[in-house]
Homo-oligomer: A and B are copies of this chain.
């Protein structure tokens, strides 16, 4: 398959083809009208733009359950990331082999960063230690941080932080789950109310009516979730 059209790519990615073309247009005009995009060339251009053609050394701090899993994760290497070092404060951990790498003590954090030219740090320590670790990383020259600890990190301007909070991910799912349950209950209510005509409940459920529209005064304080955007 030497070329692809924006339509095909959009269908595969589940997005609008116009959006996809507009996004590509920011990278330049790499397509050929009437034909589509040259796959190989496009992959290269996107890779280059995303920085995948570079080698990014990364340091992981906090080699506990999560840190160890991350250290051994093969999916990083394939995207151009290389684990340059593993750091832990626990002396018992120091020197141990994790995923083929030797765990080094926190004391060696700064020299490691400077020697390896690390600019991306991953924090997988307990929440209490995260800010202190963050400060040391930034001080040593790290300008991008991926934070797994459930804390908001304060960093100087010019430093990027991305936070991955798995509890919040689950909470978001639970929130929608609760809403789904509430909608269903309300639907059943409505069904029972006008049970005169034999409606098509399945079709109604699929049509997703804007249920729970207004706070229905049924509980003392409204046990049904309020309506908010998205």
Stretch among A84-92, A108-116, A165-173 lining the B interface: A165-173
Interface flag for A157 (CB, 8 Å): yes
Interface flag for A39 (CB, 8 Å): no
Stretch among A3-11, A20-28, A129-137, A192-200 lining the B interface: A20-28
**Bound complex: CA A51 to CA B176 (Å):** 9
Residues of B within 8 A of A80 (CB): 174
Interface flag for A220 (CB, 8 Å): no
**Bound complex: CA A27 to CA B225 (Å):** 8
Identical chains bound together, number: 2
Residues of B within 8 A of A157 (CB): 206
Residues of B within 8 A of A70 (CB): 166
Residues of B within 8 A of A176 (CB): 144, 160
Q: How does the 8 Å CB contact mask read for A71-113 relative to B, with 1 for contact and 0 for none?
A: 0110110111100000000000000000000000000000000
Interface SS of chain A? mixed
Asked whether, in the complex, the Cβ of A76 is within 8 Å of the Cβ of B170, the reply is: yes
Interface flag for A52 (CB, 8 Å): yes
Q: How does the 8 Å CB contact mask read for A113-130 relative to B, with 1 for contact and 0 for none?
A: 000000110000000000
Asked whether, in the complex, the Cβ of B150 is within 8 Å of the Cβ of A119, the reply is: no
**Bound complex: CA A28 to CA B224 (Å):** 12
Q: A160-B173, A174-B144 are in contact. Are A227 and B120 (CB under 8 A)?
A: no
Interface flag for A65 (CB, 8 Å): yes
Q: A79-B170, A162-B172, A170-B79 are in contact. Are A178 and B54 (CB under 8 A)?
A: yes
Asked whether, in the complex, the Cβ of A171 is within 8 Å of the Cβ of B28, the reply is: no
Interface flag for A40 (CB, 8 Å): no
Interface flag for A189 (CB, 8 Å): no
Asked whether, in the complex, the Cβ of A169 is within 8 Å of the Cβ of B162, the reply is: yes
Q: A75-B167, A226-B26 are in contact. Are A146 and B162 (CB under 8 A)?
A: no
Q: Residue of B at shortest CB range from A79?
A: B167
**Bound complex: CA A119 to CA B81 (Å):** 35
Residues of B within 8 A of A215 (CB): 28
Known: A66-B73, A79-B167. 10 other contacts (CB 8 A): A26-B229, A51-B175, A51-B178, A56-B177, A75-B166, A75-B167, A76-B167, A120-B173, A160-B177, A162-B169
